[in-house]
Every structure is written in C-alpha cells, then in structure tokens.
Chain A
Amino acid sequence: MIVTKQKKIEEILGFLGPYKKILVVGCDGCTQPPRSTREADTLALLVEMGSKVGGAAKKCSATTVVKQCDNQIVASALNPQIVGYDAILSLACGIGVQVLAEILPVPVYPAQDTMFMGSQERELGTMDERCKGCGECVLYRTAGVCPVTRCAKGLMNGPCGGCFKGKCEVTEESRDEKGNVKILTHDCAWYQIYEGLKKMNRLDLFRTYTPPKSRLISTPPRQVR
C-alpha cells in the first residue's frame, strides 16, 4: 500500500486561504492509514472550524472515491459533485492528487505527504518502506528481502562492515556522546537475506554476483504500455 502522512492543519489552512467552498475527497484505495469517509469528514470539519477561528469562514463538504488514481472512476464520480466548489482537498497519495488536478476544472490541493510504498506492522503500529519501484526485482535471489529499500546503502552484493549483531549501523540514534553504539533499531537487510537463504538451503544464491542496477530503467518519467 502507499503510506501517507497527513499534513498539519495550519499548512492546509495556509494554502486553502483564498477559497470559500471546499470539497474534501477521501480515497478508499490503497492509502494507508485509510483515508475514507471518516477521515474526509473529520478533515472537512477541522478545516471549517479552523477557518472560523482564523476569521475567514469556509464551507467544507466531504466525499470519497473508490480510487483516485483511475481517471475514469474519478471523472464519473466527481464531475457531478464538484459544481459550486472553489477548490478540492484530496486525501489520496500524490498520484490521486495529480489525476484529480489533470481532469477536474477546479484547483486541487494535497492534504497529505506521500511517504513510500510499504507494509503495515499492526501490533507495533508502524509502517515500513518495502518497495522503491526500481523496475528490476531481485527478490527471487534475496529470500524475499528487498536490499534496495531495506539496506540503508542499497547494496546489491552482501553486507557492508556496519552490520552489528544483525542490526544496521545506520539508525536514528546510533551512538551516544562518547561514541559508543547505542540501540540499533533497524535490521541489516543482508543479514536477513543470509539467514533467509540459509533456511531455504539456497546459499548458492548469496554467492552469485549481482551486476550494478541499471539506472536507465528507473529514470523518470517512466511509462508502461
């Protein structure tokens, strides 16, 4: 799913300054945490209340779309609804915002910062990056662990010297004042790849050389036909 983070209300109120009537559009698709009717309604109310306190009262309504990244769905669902609105506030990822901006005649603003493609760890309540869309998947030889997103250095052939007891040296707080290693929070991707391949009895894959990734494949703008 695409992981997003809601922008601060003050920021949203800032760029919505000149508009009076705003439609908040949720997305039922893959954004995580979900941004559907409840979130759209909540944001609409907060913007309304915030603008009232700020002096320039706005009117907000909320609606939601099955997925904002499909231009046909968006056109059929939103075109009849946008009559009379000055601006649209989209709760989708960056893709949804762009699709809306492209096909709708009113200005569209993002309510979220799109972070990455990732997975959700429900018990810890975290969302972790898992895919960068590099265009040449190597998961078949890395025991299902992506070195592109999960290795801080994006190494393709085994760990660097910073693998410490299975953890990565690149962490938020890796050293204290004296320079001693503090708690290492991230797992070393290559350590996990090694352990995974060992379990699968395919350590031969670990020894196979992977050539450098072709940046050509991942140079934007990309298109699939």
Chain B
Amino acid sequence: MEAIRINQDYCGKCSFCYSVCPFEAISSGEEIKLDIDKCRVCGICYSTCPSNAIETAYYTTDWMIDAVRPSVKEGIKTAVIACRGSTLSKNEFDSVAGKKFAMLKLPCVGRVELDFFPRAAELGIDRIIIAPCEDDFCRFEVGAKIAAARAEWARALLKDTGQHQEIILLRKAIRAEVDRNKCISCGTCIAVCPYEAVNLETPGIARIDTQKCMGCGSCVAECPALAIEMRMNRWEAGKPTLLIECQWCEYDTEMPKEVQVVELPCSGAIDTLQVLKSLRSGTSRVLVAACKQEECKLEEGSKRAEKRISSLVEQLKKVGMGDAVRVVYTSPKEPILRMEVKA
C-alpha cells in the first residue's frame, strides 16, 4: 500500500487538506491532488479530512485503537499519545500518567484524528495525555498546533456528549545543552549549527539559545570535547547488527530480532565515536538509515551525517574494516529499510 493517497471516490473537494498541508503537496482544482514528491507523510491531512478520503499506511485511527485495546483489557484506563520527536521513553510520563498506562509514539501527534477520542472513550479510556512538541519545535511546522487545537475540540465534544474523558496537553521538546566545565571554546558547534542557535559568551564558552535550538544533535555529535549533551538514545553494543536510524526516515519500526535498533532525532546526531566503540566491542555491521538530503527535517542533518560517516568509512578502510558501515537513504514513502537490513 502507498504511504498516503487520496481516494477520489470519497473526496468531497472541501480542500481542508490543501489548507493544512505544511509542504504544499496538495493542490486544489478540478480534483484534489497529492504530489507525493513534496509530501513528507506527516499525516496531518489524513486526520483533517472530514470524509475519510485520505488513506495512509501508517498509524491510522484503527491501528491506534487496536494498539491500546490489549492494555484496556488489562484494566488500564490511561493512554499517552506522544510525538516521537520530543519523547524518548515511557517513564517520562510516570509522574503525570501514573504507573500504568498505554503509550503510543507517533511521528507527529497532528495525525491523531478527532475520531480517536470518542472511540477511545467508548473502549474505556478515561484519560488521554496528548504530548506534542512545542509549537516552534514541530518537525512538520503545524503538527503541534493542530494537535493542541484538536485536543481542545475533543474536550468540548466529549463534554457535550456527556462522556467523562480527561484530556491533558503536555508540550515537550528536546534541546541541546552545553556543559560549561568541558567546553574548550573551539567554535565547532557554531560552525555546525544550522539554526544559528549557538554563541560564544564573553569568556569564550558556548551557549545554546533554547529558543532557536531545534534539537538536531549535530553539535552533540561533533563537539571535540564531548561538552554538549542532549537527551538521546544511547546504545551498548550487543547484537551483531546495529541499525542507527533517523526517526523520521522510517515509520515502520518492526525489525528482525537480531538487529539492534537505535532511533536518533536526526541522522545528523550520529556520533561516529559511539559507532567505533560498538565496532570494537563486537558489532560486525552498522547500518545507518538517513533521510534523503532534500527530505531532511532538520536542515542539513543528513548532509552532515553523510560527511561524517564517509570520513569514518575512509578511516575504517585503512584498518581493514571498510565494509562494516553502510548508509541507506530511505523515506516513509518508500519503506525499503527492512529489505536493506536483511541484505
């Protein structure tokens, strides 16, 4: 099935999708058309369409309901819907959601349909925590705003229909921070940052502007003194194959069991030192999945990753391990990653 498409039989030509699409991938006219080349598969049009004319292969409302159903059967009545861009692990919600809850991690919470709320209420979920990114942190420009508006709308709708469902909105973002004691004032982060978010303070120590930082992690991966930190998935070498993927290049996260999967906020955050450490301690193959450069959500993350990985491969060739690291360019539009992993 295609990643996303418009079913013309159902389309009422209301052009809502056209007005919400952040990438101008939908054109209105005689027929509403979707230009898959421009599309980034955020699914905001899918959740906006009033006549269910937009079909997507990933994270449909049916899929979401099915995903929370087993937890409901265990008596869990709280669900957390979080964006993968700003949430790492389940325990970030422990304090808000209690010990037991069902958790769904989506690429953009803007793709949650209004339908989902009453259907979840019907299933027995009486508390939903929606955790989109902060507005200016959203990778799909309007996704976080739409998610927030929709939560508000759902709240009103459920109140009117007399259902008791608590909807909590929790905004999150993951940004880089400098450890002032480690900074050597070399200025690498300033050169690397695509958002001009880093400055050197008067004594020469880097400072990251939290308003501007978009959390791509490029500075974290290149800081020579390892002085920049960001909440990110770390990994220990364990399985023979290590797949390091940008969390936006692949939505289908089920991989063979012998593969260790590490999700990063962007391929630009790949730390070649970590890769080397894994190779030394037993990993025999490292696969890096990155977005195509024109599809990179974080300006030049993919480009920086390519540069860094190719210089690593050059060095590895000289020590006889040139085949160990490979980069795969993929996109949710053409899910080829699983085949590449097996190859």
Contacts and interface: CB of A to CB of B under 8 A. Distances in A.
B225 interface: yes
Contact of B315 (A34, A35, A46): A46
A151 B337 CA distance: 53
Interface stretch (B152-160, B167-175, B207-215, B317-325): B317-325
A49 B279 contact: yes
A50 B224 contact: no
Interface in A22-53: 26, 28, 32-39, 41-42, 45-46, 48-50, 53
Contacts, number: 64
B276 A42 contact: yes
Given A34-B184, A42-B276, A49-B280, A122 B224 contact: no
Nearest to B271: A38
Would you call the interface of chain A mostly helix, strand, loop, or mixed? helix
Interface residues of A, number: 23
B319 A36 contact: no
B186 A34 contact: yes
B318 to A, nearest CB: 4
Interface in B186-212: 186, 188, 190-191
B318 A42 contact: no
Contact of A45 (B186, B190, B277, B318): B277
B280 A28 contact: no
B314 to A, nearest CB: 10
A122 B191 contact: yes
A128 interface: no
Interface residues of B, number: 22
A48 B319 CA distance: 9
Contacts of B191: 122
Interface string A186-199: 00000000000000
A42 B272 contact: yes
B188 A34 contact: yes
B223 interface: yes
Contacts of A49: 276, 279-280, 316, 319, 321
B333 to A, nearest CB: 32
A45 B319 CA distance: 10
Contacts of A46: 276, 315-316, 318-319
B226 interface: yes
A37 B224 contact: yes
B273 interface: yes
Contact of B321 (A36, A37, A53): A53
A48 B280 contact: yes
B145 to A, nearest CB: 34
Contacts of B315: 9, 42, 46
Interface centre among A33, A41, A42, A64 (most CB of B within 10 A): A42
Contact of A53 (B223, B224, B276, B320): B320
Interface centre among B188, B190, B222 (most CB of A within 10 A): B188
Given A48-B280, A50-B318, A37 B186 contact: no
A34 B321 CA distance: 25
A34 B315 CA distance: 18
Contacts of A48: 280
Contacts of B279: 45, 49
A50 B226 contact: no
A50 B273 CA distance: 15
Interface of B: 184, 186, 188, 190-191, 222-226, 272-273, 276-277, 279-280, 315-316, 318-321
8 contacts: A34-B186, A36-B186, A36-B224, A36-B225, A41-B273, A42-B272, A45-B277, A46-B316
Interface of A: 8-10, 26, 28, 32-39, 41-42, 45-46, 48-50, 53, 64, 122
